[in-house]
Amino acid sequence: MSIRRSHRRRLAIAGLVLLVLGVFQAGSAFAQGDSAPDPYALAINTVWVLFAGSLVFFMQAGFGFLEAGFVRARNVGNILMENFIDTAITGISYWAIGFGLMFGAGSAFVGAEFFLLLDIPDTYAGIPTLAFFFFQFAFSAAASTIASGALAERTRFKADLVYSAIVSGLIYPIVGHWIWQSEGFLAQMGFWDFAGSTVVHSLGAYVGLMGTLFLGARRGKSFGKNAQGIPGHSMTVAALGTFILWLGWFGFNPGSTLSGMAASDISLIMVNTNLAACAGAFVALALGWWQSGVPQLPWAFNGTLAGLVAITAPCAWVTPWESIIIGAIGGAVMYVGVYLLERFKVDDPVGAVPVHGFGGVWGTLAVGIFANSSTGGPVGLLHGGGLDQLGTQAVGVIVVAAFVLSSAAIMFAVIRATIGLRVPAQAEVLGLDIFEHGLVTYPEFTNAFSVPAEPKPGSPHARPRATSAQSPVADFVGAGGDK
């Protein structure tokens, strides 16, 4: 594997650590064959990355339950299905195309190797290539599923399938190549994003923002000072999602070192990640409390997530103190984002754009302010780096935003013109669960659409069913909409 192909940037820290170890061990048995891999380091790093990757995978459940908690009961099955099947879509699309576009060698703009995982080297970035692939697959799934929250409660299921495949297989890998593959033009320019504030989170939010502009607001959503919000169906389910996401971030950020041998770095990143989450929760909760008079759960949940998104880019290059500041500002920026979306009448049911978009932009810029890498990485404004790094970060943010927003606009325009993007009005009233999936998520709980507790054997009426597929689905199901 040529050095050009290597995942140099994210390995800066780990590399230096190993260098130090190598010097320390000069004369030891391991230093004798220095081109042979060190089996202990290889094993430790692989176990670490597979552990971290498992936590990142579990974030798919976290996104699913966060979004499910924030939507109405009639649309819960749909949003869970989207998060679930997005994971499966990404598994295939990132295997077939995405990984090659992102981490294969090619040009400054796109990779052109490793499609279908063919002709891959044994190791990549110091770990088995397949361990690296698993970790990156989980990241790709996160990027593609973030948008589903912004599009909730009105998007056709087929449209979700298509945009998820395009985001995870094309848009995300291309941007990832620019930033995380050493030949990428943003990487060459000196743009840094340690674990993906921009690459994963902002990107997902841009897709979601463009999607909601194409879709329009949900039926019944009003904006303005006296507007009524549309309450989510279960704070319990939203809390579950938030806890799982917080847990998952302990894989997302420190796992991005790709190195368990980098013991100090992964410890620092773990603590930074957690402190930013805590600070974001408080600031958003406090702002909402001050404004509304009560401490509301959604502010705490989304504040935590905004803090986590914000610390994602700079987590390896800042101190715990700085992480608290970055997370706190992340919570505030998310809060402002919610009001800006309301002001401009953008309907984002779960707050995906404020959390991942506003939080992600802030975190990416924070690298240019707070970073203080001692290993050749970024040095920000407050540590003697002047405005250079901040300027580069801003350019990166703008470039990625422009590319993703325009790509997404084309994508959604084509989807709308072909398979249709929005469900018809009656589907929103009845719920996407019945319309798209022919079932009711909670048949025994909700007043509307409830089914008899015990079916009459052989009864012929067309009732949506959860576990059987033979029923003649009612005529309206799946019909109509914006196409």
Q: Which of residues 9-38 bind its own copies (CB under 8 A)?
A: 21, 24-25, 27-30, 32-33, 36
Residues 96-125 that bind its own copies (CB under 8 A): 116-117, 122
Angstrom CA distances, 110 to 96, 185, 258, 373, 400, stand at: 15, 10, 22, 27, 14
Q: How far is the CB of 194 from its own copies (least distance, A)?
A: 16
User: Of 374 and 447, which has the nearer Cβ to its own copies?
Assistant: 447
Give Cα 117 distance to the centre of its chain: 23
- C-alpha neighbours within 13 Å on the C-beta side of residue 249: 31
Is residue 288 at the binding interface for its own copies, with CB under 8 A as the rule?
Answer: yes
Nearer to its own copies, 299 or 370 (CB): 299
Question: What angle do the packed helices 359-370 and 320-343 form, to 10 degrees?
Answer: 140
Contacts of 406 (CB under 8 A, 6+ apart): none
When binding is defined by CB under 8 A, the residue of 11, 12, 41, 325 that contacts its own copies is 41
Q: Which ranges of 192-318 would DSSP assign to H, the alpha helix?
A: 203-215, 235-255, 263-292, 297-312
Look up residue 294 and give its DSSP letter.
Answer: S
Contact with its own copies (CB under 8 A): which of 254, 363, 368, 396?
Answer: 254
Instruction: For residue 39, give Cα distances in angstroms to 25, 33, 35, 42, 77.
Output: 15, 12, 12, 5, 46
3 state SS of 128? strand
Q: How far is the CB of 367 from its own copies (least distance, A)?
A: 20
Binding piece for its own copies, criterion CB under 8 A, among 168-176, 274-282, 364-372, 413-421? 274-282
CB closer to its own copies, 190 vs 216:
216
- Beta-carbon contacts of 375 under 8 Å, excluding residues fewer than 6 positions away, are 12, 13, 15, 16
Draw the binding track, 204-233, toward its own copies (x: CB under 8 A; -: no contact): ---------------xxxx-xxxxxxxxxx
Listed ranges 308-316, 396-404, 414-422, 472-480: which one lies at the site for its own copies (CB under 8 A): 472-480
| Cβ 312 vs Cβ 281: under 8 Å | no
Query: Interface with its own copies by CB under 8 A: which range of 72-80, 181-189, 365-373, 399-407?
Result: 72-80
68 binds its own copies (CB under 8 A): yes
From candidates 178, 191, 299, 358, binder to its own copies by CB under 8 A: 299
Q: Find the binding residues for its own copies in span 450-469 (CB under 8 A).
A: 450-451, 453-460, 463-469
Distance CA 58, CA 52 (A): 10
Name residues contacting its own copies, limited to 149-208 (CB under 8 A). Answer: 157
**Cα(461)–Cα(426) distance, integer angstroms:** 20
- The verdict on 346 binding its own copies (CB under 8 A) reads no
Residue 1 engages its own copies in binding (rule: CB under 8 A): no
